[in-house]
Amino acid sequence: MFGTRPSPTAAYAQVSLESAVRSADPHRLVLLLFEGAATAMSMAKLHMQSNQIAERGANISKAIDIIANGLRASLNIEEGGELAERLAALYDYIVQRLLWANMKVDVAALDECMGLLGEIHSAWAEIAPGKESAA
């Protein structure tokens, strides 16, 4: 009956995200997934450092969901071949490390995940359609 109402800022952010998703091409959608996972992991780190257990767990769960059900699920193993297989294995590894980071309150493991995903994110951003090559 008396549920919490989202703040106007949160409501605006949600509408903004929904608009971005609706108008995005497939490449941009993957970038949005990377950004969402990075944000969730950053928030998890803050909550880990301030000993907010429930919030830490919620954000790590969100990052895992994005990686496993977004990024990994978007891979086309048949067309992507060995690269897609390696990315799938790396995403699986990151998910396992996130679970470890949450269970053991391991900031270093969380940082490792953030670094690995950041590298893939950067590489994906570099291959944007229409991006001119330096060569």
For the segment 41-69, what is each residue's pLDDT rounded down to a tens digit?
999 999 999 999 999 999 999 999 999 99
Report the alpha-carbon distance of residue 87 to residue 96 in Å, rounded. 14
What does pTM read for this prediction?
0.81
pLDDT tier at 129 (50, 70, 90 boundaries)? confident
Residue 121 lies in a domain: yes
Cα torsion 58, 61, 65, 68 to 10°: value is: 170
Task: Give the total number of structural domains in the chain.
Answer: 1
Residue 10 lies in a domain: no
Residue 104 lies in a domain: yes
Greater confidence, 133 or 120? 120
Q: Among 3-12, 24-33, 104-113, 116-125, where is mean pLDDT lowest? A: 3-12
Report the alpha-carbon distance of residue 109 to residue 25 in Å, rounded. 32
pLDDT tier at 22 (50, 70, 90 boundaries)? low
Instruction: Give pLDDT, residue 33.
Output: 97
Residue 8 lies in a domain: no
Residue 16 lies in a domain: no
Instruction: Give pLDDT, residue 11.
Output: 54
Q: Which domain holds residue 96?
A: 25-126
Taking residues 111-130, what's their average pLDDT? 95
Residue 63 lies in a domain: yes
Task: Check which CATH number belongs to the domain holding 67 and give it.
Answer: 1.20.120.340
Residue 71 lies in a domain: yes
Residue 134 lies in a domain: no
